[in-house]
């Protein structure tokens, strides 16, 4: 299986009736699946342009697109900011990058920090669910072992998700993966120095090996026509369950809850996370 194969999709989670975190005041134009691709002519498509006021002027965010001093290097490494897309080269129209999957029903940047790709990293940490005699538990329907992953409940939407986060400018993805797992699944921001050092050492050793299972576009409800989420998802597996699999999880930062969750096709997860979890289940020949 190619680790960089892009999910073929017509995005749907970013085409809901209203844009998130706007109290249903910012509506998207509703379009059909066949109107999503930019190659399809839609002469009546004139979406609202929305960029949340709270991100303007933030040090982690781009300026307004009409700021004459804003001269980004699209499709390139722009200083410490990565404006490349995992999907390949994206189109620039009227100074704005176009979502590589197509129309979303809303123009502008929404609540995303960057015009164009906004890069994230998602650590998928797994172990086998075990029965009373510590053998991997088999699912009665498939007779395959049940895989579990560390899932966090997001503070903003209440949905369960992989404990990932944004890649800081100049940061390597592996550093993001470790940082986000420590903050969201182990509550590292509130640990005592001794506890933090112990957790960091264990996570650093465990995260020294892993496999990329997906690299590309994410169907995220925050996406717009001109700004979108992309991620690198890596699987870190504790085969024996005695390393990270034995840690006591504690929700922190953007998470309100955390737990080991049984993997199955019925999981209602945030954004495209179910697609990534499926790839991990296939990799380990686990129940789905």
Residues 88 and 209: their CA atoms lie apart, in Å, by: 27
Q: How many residues does the chain have?
A: 288
Contacts of 195 (CB under 8 A, 6+ apart): none
Residues 248 and 271: their CA atoms lie apart, in Å, by: 26
First to last CA, the chain: 17
Query: What one-character DSSP code corresponds to residue 136?
Result: B
In the chain the domains, ranked by start, together with CATH numbers, are 119-283 (3.90.79.10)
Q: How distant, in Å, are the alpha carbons of 43, 47, 166, 268, 288 from that of 178? A: 46, 38, 12, 25, 27
pLDDT (tens place) for every residue of the chain, 288 residues total: 334 444 457 999 999 999 999 999 999 999 999 999 999 999 999 999 999 999 999 999 999 999 999 999 999 999 999 999 999 999 999 999 999 999 999 999 999 999 999 999 999 999 999 998 889 999 999 999 999 999 999 988 899 999 999 999 999 999 999 999 998 888 888 878 888 888 889 999 999 889 999 999 999 999 999 999 999 999 999 999 999 998 889 888 778 899 999 999 999 999 889 999 999 999 999 999
Residues 252 and 240: their CA atoms lie apart, in Å, by: 26
Residues 232 and 49: their CA atoms lie apart, in Å, by: 28
Say if CB 226 and CB 107 are below 8 A apart: yes
């Amino acid at each position: 299986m190619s680790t960089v194969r892009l999910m073929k999709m017509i995005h749907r989670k970013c085409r809901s009736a209203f844009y998130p975190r706007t109290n249903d005041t910012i509506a998207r134009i509703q379009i059909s699946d066949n109107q999503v691709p930019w190659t399809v002519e839609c002469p009546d498509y004139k979406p609202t342009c929305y960029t949340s006021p709270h991100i303007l002027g933030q040090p982690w965010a781009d300026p307004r697109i009409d700021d004459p001093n804003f001269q980004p290097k699209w499709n390139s490494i722009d200083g410490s900011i990565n404006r490349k897309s995992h999907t390949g080269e994206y189109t620039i129209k009227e100074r704005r990058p176009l979502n590589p999957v197509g129309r979303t029903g809303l123009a502008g940047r929404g609540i995303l920090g960057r015009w164009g790709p906004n890069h994230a990293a998602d650590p998928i940490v797994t172990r086998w669910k075990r029965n009373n005699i510590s053998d991997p538990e088999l699912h009665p329907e498939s007779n395959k072992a049940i895989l579990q992953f560390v899932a966090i409940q997001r503070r903003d939407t209440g949905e369960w998700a992989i404990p990932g986060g944004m890649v800081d400018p100049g940061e390597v993805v592996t550093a993001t993966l470790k940082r986000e797992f420590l903050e969201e699944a182990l509550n590292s921001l509130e640990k005592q120095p001794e506890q933090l050092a112990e957790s960091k050492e264990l996570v650093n050793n465990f995260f020294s090996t892993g496999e990329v299972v997906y690299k590309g576009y994410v169907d995220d409800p925050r996406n717009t026509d001109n700004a979108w989420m992309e991620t690198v998802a890596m699987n870190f597996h504790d085969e024996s369950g005695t390393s990270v699999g034995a840690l006591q999880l504690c929700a922190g930062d953007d998470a309100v809850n955390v737990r080991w969750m049984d993997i199955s096709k019925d999981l209602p997860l945030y954004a495209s996370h179910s697609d990534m979890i499926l790839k991990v289940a296939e990799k380990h020949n686990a129940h789905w």
